[in-house]
Structure 1
């Protein structure tokens, strides 16, 4: 079972091009020993991923999306929720900000991650009362 403390380590193994930037990010945003706020931190990671896409440097994407799938399928409840709300929702929001079509990243998603990607879209489109919730009946 994957736990919260393992998330960034797994992402850094999958996307080693982020390592130096992550170290600078941590130094700029945290005091030594201070608790890290992973829901805030993931935004910079996602920004890096999008910048890689924009530079057509996607050689780490296969490993990245495999890790996201593993977080969804093998994570504890916090990790599973983080994979959806932390990573996928942040990715969708930043793609919108950059005017990049979702399909560019959807094609990289594995089955469980794709399912949760769609749940996020359904929620924001008002089709469901919460992420992963039932589709609302049309009146």
Structure 2
């Protein structure tokens, strides 16, 4: 099972260009017993938007393979963070550059991540519940 402390190292391994930001976050939170990974996931979402613009498909495919693992193999915190901390930020148009759109990520989503992506859309656009079936 993937826990919170393993989540970002896996994402950084898939996209090493984020390593500097991750190290900075780790240094800032060195004294925190429970750091808020949602903050750094927001930064990672913006990093992914930056990868989307030039079309770095290889890096995006690696990242989305990890995101799928987080949804399937993560503990409850990691699963929620992968959805609410990462996918939701990727859907936020304010995170995007002028030359990218959230929908451009959809082709990289794997089945479980795609399911949560759609549920987020339903939550924000139609008021559907996010959890529960």
Residue 132 of structure 1 pairs with residue 131 of structure 2 = yes
* Structure 1 partner of 2:8: 8
Do the aligned residues in 1 keep the contact of 2:41 with 2:86 (CA within 8 Å)? Answer: yes
Report SS of the residue matched to 1:125.
Answer: helix
* Structure 1 partner of 2:106: 106
Comparing 38-47 with 18-27, greater Cα deviation is found at: 18-27
Residue 34 of structure 1 pairs with residue 35 of structure 2 = no
Pairing of 1:76-91 with structure 2 (within 5 A): 76-91=75-90
Residue ranges of structure 2 left out of the alignment (5+ in a row): none
Q: Any idea what the Cα deviations from partners look like across 1:11-61, whole Å, max 9, x if unmatched? A: 11111111123324554xx26423421111111111111112113333211
Q: How many residues align?
A: 131
TM superposition score normalised by structure 2: 0.85
Residue ranges of structure 1 left out of the alignment (5+ in a row): 135-139
Q: Which has the higher helix share?
A: 2
TM superposition score normalised by structure 1: 0.82
Distance 2:95 2:44 in 1: 16
RMSD: 2.0
